[in-house]
């Protein structure tokens, strides 16, 4: 089953183009990282998927038109914009009552079980909780919704690294089951690399890159060139070059590791390294890549287990 299918998706606000010809296919059971700089089009795309804004082109989410069938769609969708949005006057028990009242797929017993692992008291007010505890509460509420699509927009913004790690570990271990689909936007790219099955880079309203993380890990290599080997390294046609501490570092797409090893130190780049190559310099065109898509088959194992 395809969770999200978009063809020629376009959105403008006056003379400003927010989305320009977005083509996207996301099968069920994927964890997709949508990554882009500020103003790249992430929020308009999420709003379209959630049925919060109408767009030109074709878009279906879980087989429904999110703009005309939003009520039915949202019964199968959960969304976190920011873990800090819970009303500060609300008690923990009130928060569970509220979610139970608005979402038909909320399982209160499951939420209670998640909270039992924490030190959060049911009588506590949100304003009495630390940011980490609010994140735990929010996660317990969301993980207790039997949603087919979970959309996370910068969900760990403002949290320290410990709670960010706990948040994503819980997401992977307690929620993801290869039938649900998770869409995450974040600026903390490398922190979520280990849970993702797929990557999309968006820039200036266009998808400029897309591949599975399995493909990413075998496709890209970074070379710190030995002195005297610059010409040979350049002959292999890197897609990006940069200087660090007087050394030349080149990024390659689909060049065998064996060809690079005699030329210097070779490593697998981070997502951030490749992201900068594609969207980090707006004065230069992005490197060529296949059309952005997330239709690659998912491995049968837990996507986090091998990372």
Question: Which of the residues in the chain have pLDDT under 50?
Answer: 282-307
- In the chain, the domains with their CATH numbers are 2-196 (3.40.50.300), 222-279 (no CATH)
Instruction: Please report the pLDDT score of residue 301 as a whole number.
Output: 34
d(CA 100, CA 120): 19
| pLDDT value of position 190 | 81
> How far is Cα 179 from Cα 31, in angstroms, rounded to an integer?
10
**Full-model pTM:** 0.84
Whole-number pLDDT of residue 220: 96
| Planar angle of CA 12, 272, 6, nearest 5 degrees | 35
Residues pairing with 1 in the sheet: none
What pLDDT score does 158 carry?
Answer: 72
């Amino acid at each position: 089953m395809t969770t999200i299918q978009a063809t020629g998706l376009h959105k403008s606000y006056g003379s400003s183009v927010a989305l320009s010809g977005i083509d996207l296919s996301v099968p069920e059971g994927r964890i997709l990282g949508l990554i882009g700089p500020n103003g790249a089009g992430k929020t308009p795309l999420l709003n379209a998927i959630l049925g919060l804004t109408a767009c030109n082109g074709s878009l279906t989410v879980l087989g429904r038109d999110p703009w005309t069938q939003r009520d039915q769609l949202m019964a199968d969708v959960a969304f976190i914009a920011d873990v800090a949005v819970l009303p500060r006057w609300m008690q923990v028990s009130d928060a569970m009552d509220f979610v139970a009242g608005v979402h038909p797929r909320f399982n209160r017993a499951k939420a209670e079980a998640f909270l039992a692992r924490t030190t959060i008291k049911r009588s506590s007010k949100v304003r009495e909780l630390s940011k980490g505890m609010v994140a735990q509460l929010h996660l317990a509420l969301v993980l207790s919704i039997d949603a087919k699509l979970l959309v996370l927009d910068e969900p760990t913004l403002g949290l320290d690294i410990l709670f960010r790690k706990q948040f994503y570990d819980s997401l992977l271990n307690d929620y993801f089951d290869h039938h649900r689909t998770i869409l995450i936007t974040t600026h903390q790219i490398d922190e979520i690399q280990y849970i993702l099955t797929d990557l999309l880079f968006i820039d200036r309203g266009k998808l400029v890159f897309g591949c599975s993380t399995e493909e990413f890990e075998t496709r890209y290599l970074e070379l710190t060139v030995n002195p005297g080997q610059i010409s040979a390294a350049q002959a292999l046609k890197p897609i990006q070059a940069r200087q660090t501490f007087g050394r030349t570092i080149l990024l390659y797409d689909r060049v065998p590791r064996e060809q690079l090893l005699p030329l210097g130190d070779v490593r697998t780049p981070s997502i951030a390294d490749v992201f900068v190559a594609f969207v980090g310099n707006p004065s230069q065109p992005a490197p060529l890549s296949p059309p952005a898509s997330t239709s690659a088959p998912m491995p049968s194992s837990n996507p986090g287990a091998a990372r």
